[in-house]
Structure 1
């Protein structure tokens, strides 16, 4: 009898456990869905809560290697209005562009700029074959959320991005223009890092990242990148720049001295522009030789230590061709760029040969001093195709049109 009672008790307990387990699963499924909906609604509410919008520190490339760009965003209903410190083909600095956005639940709660908006998608699109461009994101996962700060992670490239509310009364175009002007003014490529008044290391700049190159005992060179974003009065590092145990994050720019001064408490550090020794020797008068003939021209200082300007004419239209000083080769390069306007259209320099054209950012010609006296500079295409030998001046009007060319360019210095 006792055995029968004990058996009956065990059966009842098992049935009760089954009932409880089923109930818990059902409740868990419901609460999980409810939590997802609640999270989406909360994120949308916070996004729309900033009356003057949000300032997004938008970093690009794997680990933010290309540095950050300032984008302002105002979320209302299903739409987001963006403005950027970067001018694009169809928008000026600070000009508004409105598109759709979504907040949904997938791998966590996500923010997606899923309809095309040039101001953000220009960072996400490749420049051409084998060139990923800035490798930016347009889909993000919410990591933390408050009305004072939103932290996001890019879904594809994993860079952490931060949004903060824009203060009331701040005019978007004025603020973004300040940043754009400073970014142009501070765009030097060579710096000395000074700590406690002493030069510690020389630094370069590539896109929006400082670089420090070191050489080990075997002669092997290693370059470290330190991404930053421009602010209205200087620059802010993505992660602290740490050299000799000194940690630096925030800098104020001084145009007169071309100097970044660290404004972190207790830190005496400056990043000071210096002009490379080889830069001045390329300023002067030249004969530009090519298969089309020879013309007199001049290389003038544009950005000290970084760039030169050459004024030419194409179909009687004045243009400016900008050359870069390459410190690694101690010579000059010329990369694809807008050189002027013709018939109301932007006129581009792109490399090519015959009827072939390479309309991509970052492609062009590397210079080499082939003769010392008189200094003679020849040029080689920088993307591993020896057939490419022509500077093509192109404009686009429902197709590419050729305005002029310089085939097999050679510069011979005259003074």
Structure 2
């Protein structure tokens, strides 16, 4: 009986399938390959159409973690010219590009370009680099905008035509100028009588605190201020941009519903407690160090007899922590000297940005800090620092030879004055 039922079911399915196939209506007049070829040809024309190239709002990092950066690109006959705020603004870098079919239309920069490949280039601390794309799925393209999606990391990016008479360098310089003026990490203001604090992080991300609640948005600098990658909710109102006023060092903006916001520099009262004389423990030996204000509310300059060069300690007002990260500290014999994080237990060092140690307050009287790896070096644990020399091209020369270059096992600092 079961065999009969199965046979009947099989016949129904077979006939039904055949009927569906025979009655299927052709949706497209052209094959998929022909449609893709036509789309790629159209996208090629769109890319080459602006007379002064495109402004690309480039976002790096999984889920926009490393924020946005401006790139200006022109396309012509398979060659791309690229300039950016992340490089010298007068420099234009050349490489090839192509439009290919790869599970959809894809724009690829298929030869090395120092700007386009910067965020995706592996470093000694991360095989993914800064998690940047140089291949993009073309989501849409018109004369007004091209919408791209990073093929690997999935960040949405938008290109819009550059103004025809605007020089690339002057455009980028205006962006860099705002960045250089916005050296302060924190701003406060009121929106609808609610207290708001905006905190800028090192990765072009902003923490937005309203009362006891907080959120985070990535942003990119513009010629007027900043643009959020997605509209930011500030005290229940949606802001797409904030404009910078250099005259009074203030960010101002208007929400979609017309609500105004104005945010002035804020320096945490906790910042000043770090200024003074400290005893720093290095390899179980205590050395004196002087901590002075560098950028108010943001950083300190550290000097001392043990240290051949002054160095910078960054302040994080959100966590009330101090960090010492990879940095250039001076020159020697024509070479650049960098303070490099070091895992002294295994002997490896790094000169990648953002890696180092951060403090934790373990006593308030006297003020005492302990130091530990900040978690940014995936392969090793920072416990120490080395001074190393590099040439102008960034190639490592060797250890600094003008004085002390090893600072093993930096563990503690106690404020004494």
Q: TM-score, normalised by structure 2?
A: 0.81
Q: What SS does the aligned partner of 2:144 have?
A: coil
Q: In the alignment, which of 360, 384, 388 is matched to residue 394 of structure 1?
A: 388
Q: For the residues of structure 2 that align with 1:284 and 1:234, how far apart are their CA atoms?
A: 35
Q: Which string of whole-angstrom CA distances, capped at 9 and with x for unpartnered residues, describes residues 230-286 of structure 1?
A: 111211111111234311112111234332100456221123331112101112344
Q: What SS does the aligned partner of 1:36 have?
A: helix
* Shift in alpha-carbon separation, 1:205–1:127, aligned structure 2, 3 A: farther
1:248/1:267 contact within 8 Å kept: no
Deviating more after overlay: 300-309 vs 280-289: 280-289
Q: What SS does the aligned partner of 1:99 have?
A: strand
Task: Give, in angstroms, the shift of residue 199 of structure 1.
Answer: 3.8
Q: For the residues of structure 1 that align with 2:155 and 2:388, how far apart are their CA atoms?
A: 36
1:240 aligns with 2:240: no
Q: Which residue of 2 aligns with 1:200?
A: 195
Q: Which string of whole-angstrom CA distances, capped at 9 and with x for unpartnered residues, describes residues 77-101 of structure 1?
A: 12101000113xxxx2341110111
* Shift in alpha-carbon separation, 1:388–1:143, aligned structure 2, 3 A: closer
Q: Which residue of 1 aligns with 2:79?
A: 79
Deviating more after overlay: 332-341 vs 171-180: 332-341
Q: Which residue of 1 aligns with 2:408?
A: 407
Q: Which residue of 2 aligns with 1:254?
A: 245
TM alignment of 1:369-384, pairs within 5 A = 369-370=361-362, 372=364, 374-383=366-375
Q: Which residue of 1 aligns with 2:151?
A: 155
1:278 aligns with 2:275: no
Q: Which string of whole-angstrom CA distances, capped at 9 and with x for unpartnered residues, describes residues 371-395 of structure 1?
A: 5555444422333999743221112
2:196/2:211 contact within 8 Å kept: no
* Shift in alpha-carbon separation, 1:375–1:243, aligned structure 2, 3 A: closer
Task: Give, in angstroms, the shift of residue 119 of structure 1.
Answer: 0.7
* Shift in alpha-carbon separation, 1:276–1:131, aligned structure 2, 3 A: farther
Q: For the residues of structure 2 that align with 1:243 and 1:297, how far apart are their CA atoms?
A: 41
Q: In the alignment, which of 116, 119, 129 is matched to residue 115 of structure 2?
A: 119
Deviating more after overlay: 120-129 vs 149-158: 120-129
TM alignment of 1:11-410, pairs within 5 A = 28-29=30-31, 32-87=32-87, 92-129=88-125, 132-196=128-192, 198-206=193-201, 207-212=203-208, 224-264=215-255, 266-288=258-280, 290-291=282-283, 297-311=289-303, 319-352=309-342, 353=344, 355-370=347-362, 372=364, 374-383=366-375, 388-396=382-390, 399=396, 401-403=398-400, 404-409=405-410, 410=412
Q: Which string of whole-angstrom CA distances, capped at 9 and with x for unpartnered residues, describes residues 197-246 of structure 1?
A: x3433332222121135898xxxxx7532111111121111111123431
Q: For the residues of structure 1 that align with 2:242 and 2:294, how far apart are their CA atoms?
A: 25
Query: Over aligned residues, Cα RMSD in angstroms?
Result: 3.4
2:206/2:216 contact within 8 Å kept: yes
Unmatched 5+ stretches in structure 2: 1-18
Q: TM-score, normalised by structure 1?
A: 0.81
1:309/1:322 contact within 8 Å kept: yes
